[in-house]
Structures are given as structure tokens and as C-alpha cells.
Amino acid sequence: MVSSDAPARSSWSGKWGFILAAAASAVGLGNVWRFPYLAAKYGGGAFLLVYVILVVTFGFTLMMAETALGRKTGQSAIGAFSSFGKKYAFIGVLASLVPFIITPYYCIIGGWVTKYMVAYIAEPAADLGVSTYFTSFIVNNNETYLWLVVFLMLTFFVVALGVQRGIERVNKVLMVALIVMSVGLSIYSATLPGGLDGLAYYLIPDFSKMSVELVVAAMGQMFFSLSLAMGIMITYGSYFQKDHDLEASVRHIEIFDTGIAILAGFMIIPAAFSVTGSADAVAAKAGPGLMFGVLPQVFQNLGIAGNIIGFIFFALVFFAALTSSISLFETCVSIVCDKFDITRKMAIIIAAAVIFVVGIFVNMGYNNLLWMDPMYSLFGFGTYQGSQLLDFFDFISNTVLMPIVALLTCLFVGYIIKPKILIEEVKQSSPFHAEKLFVVMVKYIAPVFMVVILVSYILNAAGIINL
Ligand code: PHE
């Protein structure tokens, strides 16, 4: 058993230190790039509704569990689980695989953002708005390797030089700028021809669009966006002071993160409607390229103003992405450090090498390995036809590993260590308002729901049942 006296550990500067660090990790490409394309793909309002429900029930429970576990044990993922018995270390190990799968492809998208940021200085906005611009940039074009390496190096250097605190301080200001800019662009998007139809599609749930695939996608997105089910929040919780209110902090992070994702949808979905013309066309076209295909078409008719707006926008997204990739890479480094008991410097070199090699490999999915269709040919998932390695890596982490880690975490908290131990941890600093919700979710609803949803998803994909 663990003593409640955690070993001396550096801690956040108060409640806001934690919230800001967690928000810097949470708000990133997941909000601006991934959320809007999933919402566009899975029926707009229906997806939005499911997502919000999942965040306030499931996401809340898991984030409370992870942060309380971290604060209680004063350890990162593997140590936190194994401090209750060596045999539980595997949950931490599984969780630790996730950042190694996400970071490489996250940095590929980070590279695309960097390219667009620079392109808005170097090329007329009208050229960037040409509909084939994006595909000719990512497909069979060695330039993407360059931007991937640029983004990777930036991430590695910030972590190696230990300057992320400084970056995160700047990020506070930039995040506000990102919000202001997104509000402005959202209003503009709504005024485009067809924009209001897009708004209706995004806000009014059409229940005929509900499907298991939608729920699975929303669940994976929730883990991704809130940085859950990969051990990060356990580590962050371990830096959390014993006398600060955990529950309130978790709420703040959720509201902030979800708010920015919803805002990004306001900006991108009506614009996508205006560009493509109908809900079906938007859903068919929605994928990793949505943001890069749609926004430049919005900026293209604005002349020089288009260049300025395009540059500022992608620069803000670039910073949000960088603070998240830093947090992802930092997690990889601390995993290597703890696991192999080596110096931080060695760990940085090893983690960087692994991510570099995997990143190059995933990027080959748009080049030499373009012929592969991993989701379709490997799993026979009809709806994923035309997939690339990036989709495959995204699938393995968000749809396979994270739900498994989340399920194991709930079972571990619900039945092995019992919720009470974490509830007491939370109550050390403040009352736990949603205590009942937490217990019921962690013990019953979350595990049952996840098993049902995942099993039906697999049976459905395998064609055994038809949902
Ligand atoms: N939550 C981040 C985003 O939405 C991604 C991320 C996941 C960052 C996990 C760190 C850890 O972009």
C-alpha cells in the first residue's frame, strides 16, 4: 500500500499552474483539427451532443481518477499502478505506449500547420485556396518530410533546453488570441453562402445519424483531446499540491478544452458547407485534410488580408500544437527515463530517435507507401477505405488502446483499490460534489458502456451484426 505522504516532488505554482499546464497540453490539434473533421463526418449535431455528454460524465470521471491517483501516489503512470501491486504495472505500460504512437503523427500534422503558416507569407492567399493545393502538398511530395523534421526538431529542442515553462507562459496570451480570432472567423463563416445551413447541421442533432461508430469516434476524440488514458494526467496530478481543489480544476480544464473544440467547429463546419454545398458532401469529404482544405478557400478571396489572416491563424494553431507536442514528447521522455533508469539526456536522445523513425515511416504512407490501405485491407473496415498509415496509427491509439486503458483504469479504481481511496484523496483539499456520479460511473456505467460499445463496434466492422 501507498503511504499518503508522497515523496518530495516539484509541484505546480498553485491551482492555476496546474490548470494552465493541463490546458496547454489539452488544447491543441485535437481541438482545432481533429474535432471539427469528426463532427463534420459523423453528422454534426449528433456528434456534438454525444461528445459533450461523454465529456461531462466519462471524461470527468477518468480525469478525476487519473489526477487523484497521481496526487495520491506521487508517481507517473507505471509507478502509480504498480505501487498497489507489481501485477498492475501493465496498465501503466499500456498507457505508456499511447504517446509513442500519437507523437509521430501529431508532428506530421504539426508540420502541415507550419507549412501553411510559412506559405501565407510566401504565396498569395488565392493560390493556397486552390482546391488541389492541399493534396498536391501532402501526396507524393518530399516537402512534407522537411516540415515534419522542422516541427520535430522544434519539439525536441524545447524539451532538451528545458524552456517549456517560457513557451507555456507565452502560450497563455496566444491561446486568448486564438479564441478571439476563432470567434471572428466563426462569425464570418456563418455569413458565407450556405453558412447558416452548416450552422444548423452542426447544432441541430439529427438522431438518424446516431451509430456505434459515431459513439466510438466521440469517445476516442474525448480521450485524445483531454489528454486522457495515456498516463499524462497521472503525472500531472502527481505535481498537484495537496491543498488545492482537484474537482474544480478538472472542471475548468474540461470546460476550456471543450469550449475551444466547439468553437473550432463553428469556424470550420459552416465554411465547409459553403465550399462543398451540402451535408452529404461535407461528410464525404471530412477527414484529416478538412481544416487545410476549407479554411484556405475561405481566405482566398480576401486578397492581402487573406494572407495576413491566414498567417495569424496558422501561427496560433502552430503554438497550440507545439505546446501539446511538447507535452507528448515530455511524456515519452519521462517514460524512457523511469523505465530504463537512465539520465534524462539519454532518454531524450532515445525517445527522439524512436519518434523520428516512426514519424518518417508514417509520413511514407503519403509517399512510397501510398498504395497501402491499412484500415481497409488489414481490418476490412469498409468505411475507412482509402486510409493512410496516419489514419491507422490514429486508429490504434484512439480507438483501440485508449479505450482499453480507460476500461482497465475504471476496473482498477472501481474494484481493486476501490473508489473510496481516491475520494478521500480528493476530499483532503475540498468537498467532492460529484462523488456519487464518480462512484457510479467508475464502477458500473463506464466499464459496461465501454465493453458494449467496443464489442458492438468490432462485430459491426467485421460484418457480424449490422448497426
Ligand atoms: N490533447 C492534445 C490535443 O488535443 C493532444 C495531446 C494528447 C497532447 C495527449 C498531449 C497528450 O491536441
- Identity of residue 177: A
**Residue 132: CB partners within 8 Å, gap ≥ 6?**
none
Task: Give 246-296 pLDDT, tens digit per residue.
Answer: 999 999 999 999 999 999 999 999 999 998 888 888 888 888 889 999 999
Ligand 1 shell residues, CB under 6 Å: 25-26, 28-31, 224-225, 227, 230, 232, 324, 327-328
Residue 400 has pLDDT above 70, yes or no: yes
pLDDT of residue 193: 93
**Residue 390: CB partners within 8 Å, gap ≥ 6?**
105, 108, 288, 362, 365, 366
8 three-class SS: coil
C-alpha closest to that of 34 among 268, 272, 329, 356: 268
Span between the terminal Cα atoms of the chain, in Å: 45
pLDDT of residue 4: 43
**Substitution candidate for ligand 1 out of 108, 155, 228, 324 with most atoms within 8 A of CB:** 324
286 three-class SS: coil
227: left (phi over 0), alpha (psi -120 to 50) or beta: left
Q: For residue 277, give the DSSP letter.
A: -
pLDDT of residue 303: 87
Residue 461 has pLDDT above 90, yes or no: no
Task: Give 164-183 pLDDT, tens digit per residue.
Answer: 777 777 777 888 899 999 99
Q: Looking at ligand 1, which residue's alpha carbon is closest to its atom 9?
A: 227
- Look up cell 480521450; give the residue: 223
pLDDT of residue 9: 62
What pTM was computed for the model?
0.91
Distance 58 CA to ligand 1 centre (A): 17
Q: What band does 385 get if pLDDT is binned at 50, 70 and 90?
A: low
What percent of the chain stands above pLDDT 70? 95
Q: Looking at ligand 1, which residue's alpha carbon is closest to its atom 6?
A: 227
Distances (CA, A) of 133 to 141, 147, 225: 12, 16, 28
Helix axes 402-411, 89-122, angle to 10 degrees: 140
Residue 2 has pLDDT above 70, yes or no: no
pLDDT of residue 372: 81
260 vs 175: CA distance, rounded Å: 10
Task: Give 18-64 pLDDT, tens digit per residue.
Answer: 788 888 889 999 999 999 999 999 999 999 999 999 999 999 999 99
Distances (CA, A) of 351 to 90, 332, 334, 355, 442: 20, 6, 9, 6, 33
